[in-house]
Amino acid sequence: MPPKFVRAFIGIIIVLVILTSLFVFHEPTRTYLDPSTGNVYDDESVHKTVDNKPPIRDFGGGVIMPKLGNETAKRALGQAAWKLMHTMTLRYPENPTSDEREALKAYFHLQARLYPCGECAAEFQQLLVKLPPQLRKTSSRRSAALWLCHVHNEVNKRLEKPIFDCAHLDSTYDCGCGDEPILDSRESDTGLDGVLPIKGGR
């Protein structure tokens, strides 16, 4: 019987020969992932879509912030928040991808949880239940901006403030970005529903 060392050496050689033969005689795969599209291509150029995006979470949940008792701070915060949200929807893409629509929806749901005024956040959560930012309502810059204007007017009603004319979103919340209106000047002066075109975004 050969010594232990020789048996171990022969065993290692046999394992290496088997592993090498698997790699040498196995036809290599020619599958690759296109990182820009997420598609997988194989030998027949057939592609399969790989969904490598994280799943969209439901960002629902309770209000995180406490009550804000200072009315002056509450008013200033509200004005700044509406300015941010209206400017965001006015610069939103005209033809957003499904990922961009999901991102906008998630933003509003997170805003309703993290807004620094707890009682305001609770009201915003109720408004999102009553008037949810459904993907079809955020399918374009115009629809997202008008949806948010409608939500803002619901708050104005409760606060007994004047109802804002959504046709004037551009002039009221103009960020000074110098973007062109959605509608070409050769088109009608008003949109399909009689509302002036909304400038912004790409």
Per-residue pLDDT of the chain (202 residues; tens, 9 = 90+): 678 888 888 888 998 888 777 666 656 556 655 555 556 666 555 555 545 444 445 666 889 999 998 999 999 999 999 999 999 999 999 899 988 998 999 999 999 999 999 999 999 999 999 998 876 656 888 899 999 999 999 999 999 999 999 988 888 887 777 665 543 333 344 444 445 555 555 4
CA dihedral 177, 182, 188, 192 (to 10 degrees): -130
pLDDT at 7: 84
Cα 197 to Cα 109: distance, rounded to the nearest angstrom: 27
CB 91 within 8 A of CB 179: yes
Q: Are 128 and 158 in contact (CB under 8 A)?
A: no
Query: Helix (H) and strand (E) counts for the chain?
Result: 6, 3
d(CA 198, CA 12): 73
Domain ranges of the chain: 71-172
Residue 6 tokens read as 């020789």
Query: Cβ contacts of residue 94 below 8 Å, gap of 6+?
Result: 140, 141, 142, 182, 201, 202
Going from the C-alpha of 17 to that of each of 3, 10, 21, 26, the distances in angstroms are 21, 11, 6, 14
Q: Return the pLDDT at 172.
A: 84
DSSP track, 139-164 = SSHHHHHHHHHHHHHHHHHHTTPPPP
Instruction: Give dist(CA 70, CA 117) in Å, integer.
Output: 10
The CATH code for residues 71-172 is: 1.20.120.310
Tell me the sheet residues that pair with 49.
Answer: 39
The long-range contacts involving 68-71, CB below 8 angstroms and separated by at least 24 positions, are 68/116, 68/117, 68/118, 68/119, 68/120
Determine how many CB atoms are found less than 10 A away from the CB of residue 144: 27
How many CB atoms within 10 Å of residue 200?
A: 26
Instruction: Quote the tokens at residue 82.
Output: 């509406």
Place of tokens 């509200």: 78
pLDDT of residue 83: 93
| pTM across the whole model | 0.61
